[in-house]
Amino acid sequence: MYNNIPLPWLKEKKFLGIWLDPKLTLECHINNVERNACKGLNVMRSLAGVYWGSDPKTLAMMYKTIVRSHFDYSTLAYINANISLLRKLDILQNRALRIITGAMCSTPINSMECESCIPPLLLRRIQIAERFCLKLMSLNNNYTLNHILPPSYNLINSEPYMDCKQLMSGFSPTLLRICVFIKSVFVNMNITDSWPMYSLSFSALIHPVNISNKKILTQSDLHEFIGDNNDVYRIYTDGSKSSDGVTSAFYDPQLKISKCFQINDNCTIYTAECYAILKALEYACNVNNCHIIILTDSQSALLGLEKTCLKYNTSYILYEIKKMLYDMHIHGKVVQLQWVPSHNGIIGNELADQATRGRADGNHSNWMKTPYTDFRCTFTMALKSLYKEYWKTVSKEEGTWYADIQKAPPAQIWYNKLKQYNRKCIVTIITLPDAQSLI
């Protein structure tokens, strides 16, 4: 009762966009997702037929925006729902793939997935779950994580939680299993009590980064730049990732000194470049010169520093660099960052590159923590490998003729850059293998 009014008993209730039922089967929610996604499919149908309308690239983008987005939201709630319910969403994606590619009803599903570079929904759900668990594991004392993986839960299991056989059966791993895998394998992940941005003062956070827009392409351009800045102290940085490991290095051309640091093998080349800049700044603090210039061949690192977003997934190393730049500014040192092209005859850059392949002066892989976002690449590579195995297995029964042409799922669609061809031409080429298999 509320104000003498009896509260009605509801069998279904919407909470935070998720429809809940008494048995938590989420059947009502999935049916609602299906209805909303069908509206997006109707929009796609109105924009393209078999040989007229929007090109497949545009339709694929529309599908991801107005159809698959309904599937992505609340994925973690229904990821382990009954397979028969999840099958409803798979059917909707298959319909969308036929609209995108203009394929016939007899076209195998795996062929359409390959032509549009849109993998099965199960792989998409696993990817979302992995990223969610990875983010949870990067925070200390996380309330949600403590319910999924209690602190007293000490089970260690580094075995893969997903294989092709389970993928074929529609099996989805639990969040607990994914968290246990992350805890067992990714032992050197950076774990913090709060967002990395909160480790900086507000003054350091808003302090502008001095990045030169001077265009240096050759050694002569560099000599001209140095001639205009005779008193500048130059330090070159570089990062490398190979089968031998991941290294960061810097080179001091004034003293002919180079330093190389071994970091964790899970680090990306982007992290290696950023860490090289950080170590160069630490070295520059002890240099008897007030004007320092860091020359790096990583445009992505400079762009990350220039447009540092106040987001949780921003690498903590970028914030460490900003903190170092601010501290040097307070002590009267002017630090400028300049991009130089790699492998273009610039001597300092070549020597820094050689340093990354030489003997490491220190192994920082144990105490230099890996940003949690770097482990996404590990998950991405594992999913790609799983998809390839799935493709080979399914192709033995479906789309065998097409599989003889396309040995593995492509990284990007072949018609991505063919702006001169209309939809009719692209659809004709897409449907040729299917038509040939019917002859």
Residue 106 shares a structural domain with residue 150: no
Q: For position 434, what pLDDT does the model report? A: 61
CA-to-CA separations, 313 to 72, 131, 197, 328, in angstroms, rounded: 19, 11, 10, 26
- Cα-only R_g, the chain: 27
Instruction: Report if residue 6 sits inside a domain.
Output: no
Distance CA 34, CA 144 (A): 28
pTM of structure? 0.86
Q: Is the pLDDT at 437 greater than 80, yes or no? A: no
Distance CA 261, CA 365 (A): 9
Q: With beta carbons less than 8 A apart as the criterion, state whether 117 and 412 touch.
A: yes
Distance CA 291, CA 333 (A): 6
Instruction: Report if residue 304 sits inside a domain.
Output: yes
87, two tokens: 């099958």
Distance CA 135, CA 76 (A): 14
Residue 113 shares a structural domain with residue 216: no
| Percent of the chain whose predicted confidence (pLDDT) is above 90 | 44
Residue 271 shares a structural domain with residue 335: yes
Q: With beta carbons less than 8 A apart as the criterion, state whether 53 and 102 touch.
A: no
Provide the terminal-to-terminal Cα distance of the chain, rounded to the nearest Å.
Answer: 70
Residue 111 shares a structural domain with residue 133: no
Residue 355 shares a structural domain with residue 265: yes
Q: For position 1, what pLDDT does the model report? A: 65
Q: Which helix (H) or strand (E) holds 292?
A: strand 291-296
Q: What is the DSSP pairing of strand 334-339 with strand 291-296?
A: parallel
Residue 179 shares a structural domain with residue 268: no
Q: Nearest CA to 178 among 137, 118, 123?
A: 137
Q: Nearest CA to 182 among 205, 206, 153?
A: 153
Residue 321 shares a structural domain with residue 246: yes
Question: What confidence tens digit (pLDDT) does each residue in 86-107 have?
Answer: 999 999 999 999 999 998 888 8
Q: For position 221, what pLDDT does the model report? A: 79
Residue 187 shares a structural domain with residue 220: no
End-of-domain residue from the set 191, 218, 233: 191
**Looking at residue 226, which CATH number applies to its domain?**
3.30.420.10
**What is the overall mean pLDDT for the chain?**
88
Residue 217 shares a structural domain with residue 338: yes
Q: Nearest CA to 246 among 263, 228, 234?
A: 263
Give the total number of structural domains in the chain: 3
SS3 275: helix
Q: With beta carbons less than 8 A apart as the criterion, state whether 348 and 295 touch.
A: yes
Fill in the amino acid letter for 388: K
End-of-domain residue from the set 191, 213, 244: 191
Instruction: Report if residue 400 sits inside a domain.
Output: no
Q: Is the pLDDT at 347 greater than 50, yes or no? A: yes
**CA torsion, points 282, 284, 285, 289, in degrees to nearest 10?**
180
Instruction: Report if residue 57 sits inside a domain.
Output: yes
279, two tokens: 């170590």
Distance CA 69, CA 46 (A): 19
Fill in the amino acid letter for 204: A
**CA torsion, points 265, 267, 271, 273, in degrees to nearest 10?**
30
Instruction: Report if residue 244 sits inside a domain.
Output: yes
SS3 234: strand
Residue 203 shares a structural domain with residue 319: yes
Average pLDDT over residues 194-217: 86
Question: What confidence tens digit (pLDDT) does each residue in 358-405 have?
Answer: 888 888 888 889 999 999 988 999 999 999 999 999 988 888 888 888
Q: Which helix (H) or strand (E) holds 382?
A: helix 375-394
Q: With beta carbons less than 8 A apart as the criterion, state whether 353 and 238 touch.
A: yes
Q: Where are the alpha helices (DSSP H) in 170-313?
A: 175-185, 202-206, 219-228, 269-284, 299-306
Distance CA 218, CA 343 (A): 10
Q: Where are the alpha helices (DSSP H) in 217-290?
A: 219-228, 269-284
End-of-domain residue from the set 160, 191, 222: 191
Q: For position 433, what pLDDT does the model report? A: 67
Q: Is the pLDDT at 70 greater than 80, yes or no? A: yes
Question: What confidence tens digit (pLDDT) does each residue in 158-189 have?
Answer: 788 888 888 888 888 889 889 888 888 888 89
Q: With beta carbons less than 8 A apart as the criterion, state whether 169 and 117 touch.
A: no
Q: With beta carbons less than 8 A apart as the criterion, state whether 270 and 309 touch.
A: no
Q: How confident is the model at residue 439 (pLDDT cuts 50, 70, 90)?
A: very low
Instruction: Report if residue 365 sits inside a domain.
Output: yes
Residue 206 shares a structural domain with residue 353: yes
Range from 63-72, 304-313, 402-411 carrying the lowest mean pLDDT: 304-313
Residue 183 shares a structural domain with residue 265: no
**Other C-beta atoms lying within 10 Å of the C-beta of residue 88:** 14
Q: With beta carbons less than 8 A apart as the criterion, state whether 153 and 182 touch.
A: no
Instruction: Report if residue 37 sits inside a domain.
Output: yes
Higher model confidence: residue 428 or residue 67?
67
Task: Pick the most confident of 158-162, 226-230, 306-310, 312-316.
Answer: 312-316
Instruction: Report if residue 147 sits inside a domain.
Output: yes
SS3 348: helix
Range from 123-137, 248-262, 417-431 carrying the lowest mean pLDDT: 417-431
Domain range for residue 98?
A: 13-118+409-431
Q: How confident is the model at residue 438 (pLDDT cuts 50, 70, 90)?
A: very low
